Chain A
């Protein structure tokens, strides 16, 4: 049985349905990321797990203990689930040390050494223990919040968009540091975010939510390459959605004859997804072979290492592709290009 087992979880706030029946499992020591646009219910899911809110219906079991069943919920302070909130949520009236020892149950003489140990673990100087939360940077506040939550050796750690308030550079570093600490401690983690790049990087298991439902869950690579529907595909990254004729394990579409990822489909018609990174632009070949896809560069915008192109297909001027190519390719507007598609394409079931 899974470490965390969520079944048919429902929660409404007045007329608004935040969760419309969510099932999710989390393995021991793994990292699960719940991702979705704002308002999809992911924060509600997290608050129900933490015990800040009681569900209307459904069941939450963690490590074999029933946390909530229907409206009967164990109060938050008895669950031993750690949470690191978006802004760290440090107690402004306590020092860093006061924050870290806040939830400790060890005897008082052991708390200070343990706090120092935790500071080291999250990569902060011991000398910061006497500081006030408002004297720390955003990233440092997050690390202290993590240390405070770790101090109780929680069985599950909830991360509520803890990196979204940080600068881009700091975000990646803090995410890696926190991820490494949690992995080393072997604590199952559930991260909630609306940032798809963050979700794909951090997750062992990715769960996509939309409109209070869990749309899809699985390994990040699988979800990215085999999304359940076009909306999920577009949420996780740029996607080219086309209609195609399906025949002998290939899709026949405006981009030519492309092999299918799952050839088992029996349907004759379908909607397929191609990721832009599968498409390569090359200089037009004079001796063009049969079936070469030709396009014209409409617009280029320089982004440093890469260049964003908008390319219109010669066969159908209505189809415009947005591609990213290495800026060394040096293409200009109006230029003719040949397009080569590699890899397989995904058919939406």
Chain B
């Protein structure tokens, strides 16, 4: 128990390294240099870009996702289940593949409006998933009650349904916001400058440590503002359903003659989020013919990617295990704080994590520079919460009494844990490995900056080829990434339905 706690604390400290590094770097730089590097027109420009991107994309994505969720969950939209699955499917496509697809169709596209459009299509599923799950879980008795108090259907939605979706909207909105701040490939491809693209450029061109570090400071501040906003708006209240009893199925609103007109919305969303990537990929795959299938290179990249995904996924899951166990079996203030550290650390953009680990390894532990160990640590920091969520829910399903029974039959604590809880939570652990592996497979920024020399993952190869404007050559890599992500996306969709008891 004590050992587990210490282990969890050590992992938390490791996870907080990048955040600590940014503040340490600022302190070392000194206020004068720092302010010179921070308060300059270039940073103002990046700030404007980033702010506008977030301010437009997040509300638009919320609007789109809420409308789609309502249509698929609460109306008699034709083929609602199909639309629901299709609205989650874009998650299988890495963000930079989305912009690759758009550029393939419209080569001249660049700038803020395009950035917003691609971001909304690439990220709305992050909002659709929790909002539709929440709509399924809402107690319809509350809506009946509101109707009996004289509210029309529209008023019921505004005054009863929407307030209860707040947590899902905030959670999904935060996730989208953090993605916007940390995404590199999507915006680099359409030549739209954000803090992340600027830091990567800085790092690649001059390895100008101080300037990049100061940009990272501003980026981290943006992330912290987002996290603070979310915490402030969220409040400490949870809207638990009060009382007991089995809720009856939700009432579906009849769209009447508008049924088929309303189908235009999911149709348009899917056309952009799935149709455009499908068209572009098919186009390049056909245009490229068999020449683009250079099996030796593709095979090598695939092999390396799978190895790094499995190693990273297992490491992330193992790192999540101590705190997952603590938070279920021995929840305390301490375990909650540790958990909070993981979430905070993982909301740091990949570029900041990579920058920190590069600088730290170069300065303090040179033998670790550009090794598998360092890049795996980066993945652990970035994807630990994904593993944590799966692990925790599956551990929570194993009754603690089983562990106690094993102990009373003479097993040592570790042995008891292993032979009961770990065994029974194995499916959850597998899901944890799968979810973090998926993240790793599609990760580009940190992988580029940290990967050992000679490494070429699918994402890296894809990126290198598109940088050479070899769009056809990049297509097989994009296809492979999508194909590998599909089962994982299906799993997510399935889980969100299972939560709602279906």
Contacts and interface: CB of A to CB of B under 8 A. Distances in A.
Contact of A87 (B147, B149, B245): B245
A193 interface: no
B237 interface: yes
Contact of B146 (A78, A102, A105): A102
B409 interface: no
Please give me the 7 A-B residue pairs with the lowest Cβ-Cβ distance, nearest first: A87-B243, A103-B149, A76-B147, A92-B239, A93-B163, A77-B147, A89-B145
Interface of A: 47, 50-52, 75-83, 85-94, 102-103, 105, 132-134, 138, 141, 148-149, 152, 165
Nearest to A94: B163
Contact of A165 (B237, B239, B243): B243
Contact of A77 (B151, B163, B244): B151
Contacts of A148: 149
A92 B145 contact: no
Nearest to B139: A89
Q: Residue among A93, A133, A148 with the most chain B CB within 10 A?
A: A93
B461 to A, nearest CB: 49
Contacts of B144: 47, 50, 52, 76, 83, 89
B364 interface: no
Given A88-B243, A103-B151, A148-B149, 20 more contacts: A50-B144, A76-B148, A77-B147, A77-B148, A77-B149, A77-B155, A80-B150, A83-B145, A85-B141, A87-B141, A87-B245, A89-B142, A89-B145, A89-B242, A90-B242, A92-B164, A93-B239, A102-B159, A105-B150, A134-B240
B148 A133 contact: no
Contacts, number: 89
A86 B148 CA distance: 15
18 contacts: A47-B144, A52-B148, A52-B251, A77-B149, A78-B150, A79-B148, A88-B243, A89-B243, A91-B142, A92-B240, A92-B242, A93-B164, A93-B237, A94-B163, A103-B149, A103-B150, A148-B149, A152-B149
B99 to A, nearest CB: 38
Contacts of A77: 147-153, 155-156
Given A77-B152, A85-B141, A92 B147 contact: no
Interface in B115-158: 139, 141-142, 144-153, 155-156
Contacts of B155: 77
B160 interface: yes
B294 interface: no
B498 interface: no
A85 B145 CA distance: 8
Interface in B212-245: 237, 239-245
A301 B142 CA distance: 45
Contacts of A78: 150
Q: Residue among A76, A78, A85, A132 with the most chain B CB within 10 A?
A: A76
A103 B148 CA distance: 9
A229 to B, nearest CB: 31
Interface in B231-274: 237, 239-245, 251
B134 to A, nearest CB: 12
A148 B160 CA distance: 15
B163 A149 contact: no
Nearest to A142: B243
A87 B242 contact: yes
Interface in B45-97: none
Contacts of B166: 93
B148 to A, nearest CB: 5
Nearest to A52: B144
A86 B150 contact: no
Contacts of A76: 144, 147-148
B51 to A, nearest CB: 30
Q: Residue among A75, A94, A103, A141 with the most chain B CB within 10 A?
A: A103
A80 B163 CA distance: 24
Contacts of A52: 144, 147-148, 251
Contacts of A88: 242-243
A328 B148 CA distance: 52
Nearest to B167: A93
Nearest to A50: B148
A313 B386 CA distance: 72
A47 B139 CA distance: 16
B497 to A, nearest CB: 23
A17 to B, nearest CB: 18
B242 A86 contact: no
Contacts of B141: 85, 87, 89
Nearest to A88: B243
B148 A92 contact: no
Contacts of B139: 89
B42 to A, nearest CB: 44
Contacts of A83: 144-145, 148
Contacts of B153: 75, 77
Nearest to A90: B242
A151 B52 CA distance: 46
A105 B155 CA distance: 14
Contacts of A149: 148-149
A86 B243 CA distance: 8
A152 B150 contact: yes
Contacts of B156: 77
B397 to A, nearest CB: 25
Contacts of A87: 141, 242-245
Nearest to A160: B141
A196 B148 CA distance: 27
Q: Residue among B147, B159, B164, B251 with the most chain A CB within 10 A?
A: B147
A274 to B, nearest CB: 38
Nearest to B164: A93
Nearest to A151: B149
A3 to B, nearest CB: 18
A279 B421 CA distance: 60
B189 to A, nearest CB: 42
A33 to B, nearest CB: 20
Nearest to A148: B149
A85 B239 CA distance: 18
Contacts of A103: 146, 149-151
Contacts of B243: 86-89, 138, 141, 165
Q: Residue among A75, A134, A149 with the most chain B CB within 10 A?
A: A134
A281 B149 CA distance: 55
Nearest to B241: A92
A174 to B, nearest CB: 14
A81 B144 CA distance: 12
Nearest to A85: B141
B246 to A, nearest CB: 11
Contacts of A133: 242
Contacts of A132: 237
A25 B166 CA distance: 44
Contacts of B148: 50-52, 76-77, 79, 81-83, 149
Nearest to B162: A93
A166 to B, nearest CB: 11
B323 to A, nearest CB: 28
B245 A86 contact: yes
B166 to A, nearest CB: 8
A75 B147 contact: yes
Contacts of A138: 243
Nearest to B140: A52
A183 B241 CA distance: 31
Contacts of B150: 77-78, 80, 103, 105, 152
Contacts of B159: 102
